[in-house]
Amino acid sequence: MSIEELESVAQAMVAPGKGIIAIDESTATIKKRFDSVNVPNTEENRRAYREMLLTAPKLGEHISGAILYDETIRQATKAGVPFTKIMMDAGILPGIKVDIGAKPLAGFPGELVTEGLDGLRERLAEYAKLGAKFAKWRAVITIGEDTPSGTCIEANSHALARYAALCQEAGIVPMVEPEVLMDGDHDIDVCYEVTEATLRSLFGALYEQNVLLEGTILKASMVVSGKDCADQADVETVAEATVRCLKSAVPATLPGIVFLSGGQSDEQATAHLNAMNQMGPHPWPLSFSYGRAMQTAALQLWAKDMQANFKAAQDMVVLRAKQNGLAALGQWKKVA
């Protein structure tokens, strides 16, 4: 993939009114989701669930891409059509999660660093042949009494930058995700400071590794109060703080930013995104890359009767996609 093609794919990922659906849960993570709705965690159930999501009629009107897991990118519909073909035919770009998870950072108790660089060049080459157009790597930054340390932020930024460089070498657009977790009782000001420091470190590392920013997408966490904080910031405060933080740390040459929902409720994630876009215009499109905030309602419905509720569950995920697509334009209205 040429530089122009990388730029074209990145721009398509943040097309107006469209965002990314994240269905890249590992086998262990999807088990937690399935356990919550009493669905056995079998390969066939995982395949059937993802078929329900990816074949939803008109999903491509609001979804530009989907992040898949290693198992999913190799799967097909019950009729034998590869998921990647179904997606491309619907105008949905196939993406792939390539990190192998956050592990304890040696020497720094309570902090994490994401692993997966070993063998990544070869894995990316295979994913490109399987149809992947973009990839995702998630770093985890935890706020605590003495965390995050500068070492933790630097280690994760370096890994994200090395991953991004390898992606572009393979002709795949990298989505870099430095998630500042909501866990904790910190206030929104502390979240702002940590998020700003993390983003500045990340873009410094991307520059050092010669990563083409025009062919890169940032998946960002919003600047919010810790979930155990007594003083929860309102929608307008979150939107203002998040936009201000991004403008202070993210270069304008980036094609776009998509947000993770990060444990927010479905409505919160949509409301925050909508409020940010109503404050625009911004240097870059602000859209979404939601997992649970896109899937939860559909999963609960599908789990009650996988056959009878198949279509209704699809309608639910398309509705969530439409609502977030409107929020990406600043046009979402809360339904009383």
CA distance 120 to 20: 23
Q: Which one from 219, 227, 267, 304 is the annotated catalytic residue?
A: 219
Element (H, E) at 141: strand 134-141
Query: What's the rounded Cα separation, in Å, for the pair 54 and 310?
Result: 12
Count CB-CB contacts under 10 A for residue 202.
Answer: 26
Give dist(CA 78, CA 75) in Å, integer. Answer: 9
DSSP H or E stretch at residue 164: helix 150-169
**Cβ contact 271:237 at 8 Å:** no
CB 334 within 8 A of CB 81: no
Active site residue 122: no
State the Cα angle at 85 between 80 and 88, rounded to 5°: 155
User: What residues have CB less than 8 Å from 314, skipping those under 6 apart?
Assistant: 52, 53, 55, 56, 57, 59, 298
Q: Note if 304 is an active site residue.
A: no
Catalytic-role residue among 177, 193, 247, 304: 177
Which residues does the annotation mark as catalytic? 177, 219
